[in-house]
Amino acid sequence: MKFISLFTPLILLMASCQTTRKAENSASTQKSAHLKKIDPDDLSPFEDLESNSKSNMPPSHIAVSENRVQTKKAHESHGSLSSFCQTELSSLPGKFSEESLKKVCRKVTVKEGCESFEENPIFHYQKNGYSKNAKRILVLSLIHGDEFPSGSVSRSWMIRLENIEPRNSWRVIPISNPDGLHRKTRTNARNVDINRNFPTKDWDRLALFWWRTKKKSDPRRYPGPTAASERETQCIMKHIDEYDPHFIISIHTPLGVLDFDGPKSIEFPRFSPLPWISLGNFPGSLGRYMWVDHNVPVLTIELKGSYGVKRLQEFDRLQDISGTVAIQSDRILRANKQRSFNDK
């Protein structure tokens, strides 16, 4: 009986996912009413399988070290920022044109204070839109350093932006956690999960408690000693503060879904490789910080393993779809604001 009670929720979940997928296939747009709740931390993506042995380690890093690990700073061995950009982005999987990337990397800059714990620059690329109503869209990838294909999609989008006149304005931070990328770890060099370190209103009350109880102190999901304790988190917050985005896109792997924290009445444009499925958000996560606390929609693109890397052109279409959702979201949020203003 125990077996049944343990597995029944899983079977129901699988059945509900199948129902959702069928519904999506028959419709050209996907409404949030059909979204099913899945806790991504309860699934077993390949990254978790690979690091099972690690996740049983005692959380010895709770006392986060202030000592930098004496590794060679990557940008020092490459000289300029543009060659650092070129080297780092070339190391990611998937096809791209070296020449086009060179053009992009000549234009990247670093915001003051955007340096990782191991003093690697957290650079960004920006392209402004032609439309006078252009929305500002902030794209983040490699918040989790071991999710390489997420950076490949950003690289592809940056190269594309360089060659088109976009309707919206885009700022892309392709490597949000450079130390994690070098170490091939989800967490940063201080063993903190950046996507649990954002200062959500409930951080002090819930983040560490949630981690200890619900995640059994899994070292891969350690939210940090205090909210926004990490340089990488602080850098992203500076961008949010200064760029003031209408819409944020955060690219991850490997769950293979489009997860949206934003207004519920969106008509989601169909993107057949990835269904729209809500994953929910967590204390300290970007989705909770920006959407729940600050009313800025966050689209989380969860790539399906290396699928995106093999079909980067399809993901160019996803960039356009994301732009459309950004415009739609802004329209809905403005209308809601106007309605609540009129009601006063």
Contact footprint for Zn ion (CB under 5 A): 144, 147, 252
Residue 232's contacts (CB-CB under 8 Å, 6 or more residues apart) are 116, 117, 122, 143, 176, 177, 179, 188, 194
If the CB atoms of residues 206 and 279 are measured against Zn ion, the closer one turns out to be 279
The least CB distance from residue 142 to Zn ion, in Å, is 9
If the CB atoms of residues 143 and 325 are measured against Zn ion, the closer one turns out to be 143
**Looking up tokens 């191991």, which residue turns up?**
118
The least CB distance from residue 279 to Zn ion, in Å, is 11
The least CB distance from residue 233 to Zn ion, in Å, is 14
If the CB atoms of residues 170 and 282 are measured against Zn ion, the closer one turns out to be 282
The least CB distance from residue 146 to Zn ion, in Å, is 8
If the CB atoms of residues 270 and 273 are measured against Zn ion, the closer one turns out to be 273
The least CB distance from residue 291 to Zn ion, in Å, is 17
**Torsions phi, psi of 100, nearest 5?**
-65, -40
Q: Given CA atoms 107, 113, 114, 118 in this order, what sign does their dihedral have?
A: positive
The least CB distance from residue 170 to Zn ion, in Å, is 21
If the CB atoms of residues 86 and 176 are measured against Zn ion, the closer one turns out to be 176
If the CB atoms of residues 231 and 252 are measured against Zn ion, the closer one turns out to be 252
The least CB distance from residue 290 to Zn ion, in Å, is 16
The least CB distance from residue 28 to Zn ion, in Å, is 29
The least CB distance from residue 320 to Zn ion, in Å, is 23
If the CB atoms of residues 84 and 260 are measured against Zn ion, the closer one turns out to be 260
If the CB atoms of residues 136 and 144 are measured against Zn ion, the closer one turns out to be 144
If the CB atoms of residues 118 and 259 are measured against Zn ion, the closer one turns out to be 259
- CA 333, CA 262: separation in Å to the nearest integer? 9
Secondary structure in 3-state letters for the chain: CHHHHHHHHHHHHHHHHHHHHHHHHHCCEEEHHHCCCCCHHHCCCHHHHHCHHHHCCCCCCCCCCCCCCCCCCCCHHHCCHHHHHHHHHHCCCCCCCHHHHHHHHCCCEEEEEEECCCCCEEEEEEECCCCCCCCEEEEEECCCCCCHHHHHHHHHHHHHHHHCCCCCEEEEECCCCHHHHHHCCCCCCCCCCHHHCCCCCCHHHHHHHHHHHCCCCCHHHCCCCCCCCCHHHHHHHHHHHHHCCCEEEEEECCCCEEEEECCCCCEEECCCCCCECCCCCCCCCHHHHHHHCCCCCEEEEECCCCHHHHCHHHHHHHHHHHHHHHHHHHHHHHHHHHHHHHHC
Nearest to 220 by CA among 279, 284, 149, 144: 144
